[in-house]
Every structure is written in C-alpha cells, then in structure tokens.
Structure 1
Amino acid sequence: MGHDDVTRLHGMHVVRDGPRQAPPLVLIHGSGFSGASWHPVVPALAGRHHVVRIDLPGHGRSSPAPSYDVPEQAGRLAAVLDDLGLGPVTAVGHSSGGYIATALAERRPDLVGSLALISSGPSPDALLSQPAALRVLTAPPLGPLLWRIRSDAMLRRGVTAVCTRPVNVPDDLVAEARAIGYRTFRTVLCRNTAYIAERSLPERLTALDVPVLVIFGAGDPRWDPSSAHRYEAVPKARVEHLPDVGHLPMLEAPETTGRLLLEFTAAGR
C-alpha cells in the first residue's frame, strides 16, 4: 500500500494517509508493535480521514526516549501533532496505545475531540495470565536471551498467540517488532501498569468527558474480556464486544473494526 507521506518529527516515525483536509484520525499502536499493526484498516479509514500513524518512542522506526512514562510519551505525541497543525483529532489507541491516547487528552484537551480504545485493559487486576509464547519471550531468565535470537517465526507466534482467529501478520510488523529492545519493552510494560494503577482508565475517561468508543474482543487472552463492562459507567462511552476475536481486532476483524471506527467518527460530526 502506498502512503501519501512518511516523515520524522521529534525522533518519531510518522506515516500519513488520506486527504489532508479530511478530519484527522490518529492511530496509536500498543507495546511491542508499530504503526504497521494498523495496515488492514487504513485503506477504509483513509477514504474519509486524514490518517496519522506514529511509531511510539523505542518502537518501529522511532528513536528511543529517555523516559517511557505514559504522560511523557503523550507529550511527545502532542509535539508531533502541533508540528503537523492538527487538532482536535480522534485518537485511537490499541492496547497500551489507549493509555497514550487517554494521557494525550488529559495533557492537551485542545488536541483531542474523541477517543477510541481497542483492547485497552481498564486496570491491572484485569490482566490475565499471559500465553506461554509471550511469557517465555518476555520474562527472565530466558527472556533476554530469546529476545536477542528471536526469529521471524517466533515473532509471528508472539503475535498470533493473542489472537483467536487466524491472521495474516504484516511483514512490516514483524520487521519493525525487531526494533524494540528487551529492556525498553520491559520498561514500557512497567510504566503502562503504573499509569492504570495510579488511576483506572474508566476513572480517567469519566473526568475527561469526551465521546469514547471501546472495542473489546470477547476472546481476548491478555485482558479479561468481562472487564470491558467497566467502561459502561463512563458517560458518553459506547462499548462494542466482538465475538470470536482476541487481542488484535485490527488484524482479526479489520472490516468490523474499520466500520465501528467510521460510525463513531461520523456520529461525532
């Protein structure tokens, strides 16, 4: 798929698709992933939106950062959006990308008109025991060693381990997953947990008072799918449960995910 524009701002890799005059939609990937994780849904979204994908610090083609605290990552994202002259945007976050999106709205309410969270766990107690393929790759004592020697096949298994449907893992995603170092990945996970331990996502969203779409796979193996009901207490929130879908709705059910996002943005205009 060709892109309208690829650039680098504040050390972050930025890819833009769709007409510049269209409403801006910012796609924020989860931990260990990159902007390539959104490939299957971009064509549909770019038909109606100026779609912006950013590799977070230390991920994909972006430079490492001195801190991976969620609010500081949101600040870096805000600087990119300011340089692009964008706002207010619809910020869409997958998994921990939902924390960055939420923190962006907290830090810069002028930049965020609405939020969409996909597979974003509400609080640490909703985290499930992780699939073996991920535990072995990320936990000591074997984690650091396996991280250095991980093959493409191992990386693909890591992605498919959190899916309930067969998926086509984009080659770009596999290649860019190699970019994140073991220590960076562990630090990112730690800082993400600290953010939702300090205050749960539903509490933060309630305080923000912006339209929210929550998409959760009913078969998510990373987060307890029933925890998605906690978002129903958030004013202006709409919660969508996807049957037979795991942690990666963008890859497992791209048509449904794209349709829900387009319906959500259209309703806000």
Structure 2
Amino acid sequence: MHIDRYGPERGTPLLLLHGGGVAGWMWEPMRAHLDEGHRILLPDLPGHGRSADQTYTSHDDVIPALEELLEDEGRPATVVGFSLGAQLAVLLAAQRPDLVEKVIVVSAQAIPMRAVGPMLAVLSATAGLARQEWFAKLQARELFVPPEHLDDYVRTSAGISRETLLNAVEENLRFTPPDGWRHFPGAALILAGSKEKTLMRRSSAALHEALPQSEREIIADCGHGIPLQRPAWFAQRVESWMR
C-alpha cells in the first residue's frame, strides 16, 4: 500500500482509513484543521488511489498490512475510519487492541444486506459507469467531495478495477462486527449522519450495543460523508475526543 506520513515521528499516531471509491486525499480537508503534533498515517487502501495496482481482495487481507504499519510505529494509535475504512477500524480494534488505543467509527455498515448476489450482479453489469466522468461527478456530490478535490475523485474512480469494486462492495454489504469488538478495552466513538440511510443509523446502534462503553452520536443535518461535509467540525471533534 502507498502510505503518506505527516507530523513528528514521536507524535501520537493517528491512522486515517478512507472509504471505498475514494483514497487518502479525502482526509486533506479535515487534516488541515488538526494539531500539527500528531503522527498522521494516511494509506491508500489496495485498489484505490496510488495503490490502484493492487486489487482489493478482502478485509482480512488488508488487516495484516495495517497491523504491520502500526507495529512499525511502536505504540498504540487512534484509528479513524470512514465507511469501508470504518469497518477496517472495527476489525483492527477487535483483533489487535494492543495496537489500537482509541477508535472512531464513522458511517460503518454493520448489518448485513440480504440478496447480496443479485445486487453484485447489477453492480458488475454497470461497473463501467464509474469510469465515466459525469457519473463520477454525481457520486462525488453524494459524498460531499469539495470542488478542489473533484479531480482527485474522478481520477480515483476511474482507476478502480471491476474486481476491486465488486470485492470491496461485497465485503461492505456482508460485514458484521467480529466477536472481539465487544471485548475491545479502549475508547470508541461511533458516528453517523442524521440524513444517512436508516440502515447506517441502525448499524451505528448495533455497534454501540455490542460495545456498551462506546459513545454514539448522530450528527444533525449530515449525510454519508461527515469528514468531507464538515471537515473543520470533524477535526475539532476528533481532537476534543482524543483529549
């Protein structure tokens, strides 16, 4: 995986995991408002952005690379994940609590969908749309991608292979919290937008119920894309919660 690192080497590690269809650049609007003392780790997940030459196969295949990244830092990190990346954040916290001190889960689906097969068949037949600029711009609007990153979104969308798209979407649709999640000893903050699909709000409730000591918030007037829709607010929320 391509990984960008910012901030002092001995700063508090902060791992930011992007969602499906975007890449590490999605955190730039929020990162501009973060304290410079953090050690920020910003990967492009397999199949996305500058890691587009690697196929996204499964969550289980990505987790070891993220574990290695955190092991190299040598101290527990705060992990922030959005959508697909939020599912990875849950898995990391559940499987390696020695590496994850705190976790912020943003808009993670945690209730598996029914009829995944037919949905994937439709997606496979229409996957080529993601390479069309007009379609990518429509999708960018749904994620609240700011104008200065529209070209990044269009380029990322065009670079995602059909195999990566289908694998990532299937993992997302079938995801359920692992058993280890209910035993995570660290702090957890679970966020969803009030204007997201009902499934996303129900998923945030399911994650909270499985880990009762976690905090859950529904963010008013936000859709699926809180870090991009309200980057300054989100950065401030991350900072205050980490303290």
State the TM-score, normalizing by the size of structure 2: 0.85
**For the structure 1 residues 48 and 218, does the alpha-carbon distance in structure 2 shift closer, same or farther, using more than 3 Å as the test?**
farther
Matched, 1:253 2:230: yes
Matched, 1:106 2:120: no
**For the structure 1 residues 37 and 262, does the alpha-carbon distance in structure 2 shift closer, same or farther, using more than 3 Å as the test?**
same
Aligned to 1:4: none
CA contact (8 A) 2:29 2:231 kept: yes
**For the structure 1 residues 252 and 17, does the alpha-carbon distance in structure 2 shift closer, same or farther, using more than 3 Å as the test?**
same
1:160 to 130, 133, 141: 141
SS in 1 for 2:195: coil
Aligned to 1:55: 44
One-letter amino acid of the structure 2 residue matched with residue 185 of structure 1: L
**Gaps in structure 1 of 5+ consecutive residues:** 1-11, 127-134
Moved more, 178-187 or 34-43: 178-187
Aligned to 1:213: 189
Alignment of 1:234-253 (within 5 A): 234-253=211-230
CA contact (8 A) 1:219 1:244 kept: yes
**For the structure 1 residues 112 and 225, does the alpha-carbon distance in structure 2 shift closer, same or farther, using more than 3 Å as the test?**
same
Q: Which has the higher helix share?
A: 2
CA offsets per residue over residues 166-208 of structure 1, 9 Å max, x none? 8446133332232211221111111233342xxx36x642222
2:25 to 31, 36, 48: 36
**For the structure 1 residues 125 and 186, does the alpha-carbon distance in structure 2 shift closer, same or farther, using more than 3 Å as the test?**
closer
**For the structure 1 residues 224 and 195, does the alpha-carbon distance in structure 2 shift closer, same or farther, using more than 3 Å as the test?**
closer
CA-based RMSD of the aligned residues comes to 2.5
Matched, 1:92 2:119: no
CA offsets per residue over residues 90-145 of structure 1, 9 Å max, x none? 0111001111112222333221111100111221259xxxxxxxx9xx7243x133
Q: CA deviation at 1:59?
A: 0.9
Q: CA deviation at 1:229?
A: 2.8
| Larger RCO (CA within 8 A; separation ≥ 6) | 2
Separation in 2, partners of 1:108, 1:65: 24
One-letter amino acid of the structure 1 residue matched with residue 205 of structure 2: H
CA offsets per residue over residues 48-92 of structure 1, 9 Å max, x none? 411111011111101544662212211111123334x24310011
CA contact (8 A) 1:26 1:51 kept: yes
CA contact (8 A) 1:25 1:91 kept: yes
CA contact (8 A) 1:35 1:60 kept: yes
CA contact (8 A) 2:11 2:37 kept: yes
**Gaps in structure 2 of 5+ consecutive residues:** none
One-letter amino acid of the structure 2 residue matched with residue 154 of structure 1: F
Q: Percent identity?
A: 26
SS in 1 for 2:45: coil
CA contact (8 A) 2:58 2:171 kept: yes
* Alignment coverage as a number of residue pairs: 235
CA offsets per residue over residues 220-266 of structure 1, 9 Å max, x none? 14844344233442233111211111010111111221111111111
SS in 2 for 1:259: helix
SS in 1 for 2:183: helix
Matched, 1:147 2:127: no
One-letter amino acid of the structure 2 residue matched with residue 41 of structure 1: M
CA contact (8 A) 1:210 1:236 kept: no
Separation in 2, partners of 1:34, 1:114: 22
**For the structure 1 residues 169 and 122, does the alpha-carbon distance in structure 2 shift closer, same or farther, using more than 3 Å as the test?**
farther
